[in-house]
Amino acid sequence: MQAGEESQAVEEAPPETTKPRPKRRGKVTVFDNWCKGCGLCVAFCPRKVFELGPEGHPVVVHEERCTACNWCVYHCPDFAIVVELVEDGEQERKTGQAVGGRVRR
Ligand code: SF4
Ligand code: SF4
């Protein structure tokens, strides 16, 4: 690359990169039978979506706050959390599984 090419590349960025990011939210499901109750998701969800329930499993108490960042999905040691991405304006998908954000199997 010759001198001056880098600054020219920045100036000619395609217009789509300047679009605002869509608002993301997530539909959160916890599979209680897979969850060992370590509490990681309750402690570290950046949006405080979960609270610890009476049985030691996380309960989804503020799903409206979820940004579908997937931190809980990637860090849950038991793969007990599923987050479905819901784009702004999209209807939440009805899977028939998630009832009150908790599932027993
Ligand atoms: S996806 Fe992110 S914001 Fe949503 S519940 Fe998991 S950690 Fe919290
Ligand atoms: S991170 Fe996974 S195993 Fe730990 S409390 Fe949350 S759902 Fe249960």
Q: What does the pLDDT read at residue 87?
A: 79
**Residue with CA at minimum distance from ligand 1 atom 3:** 66
- Closest Cα to atom 1, ligand 2: which residue? 76
Digit-coded pLDDT (tens) for 2-34: 554 554 545 565 555 566 655 889 999 999 999
Evaluate if pTM is beyond 0.85. no
**Sheet with 102-103, edge to edge strand ranges:** 81-87, 24-31, 102-103
Dist CA 59 CA 54 (whole Å): 9
Q: What is the CATH number of domain 21-103?
A: 3.30.70.20
How far does residue 56's CA lie from ligand 1's centre (Å)?
18
State whether the beta carbon of 81 lies less than 6 angstroms from ligand 2: yes
* 64/14: higher pLDDT: 64
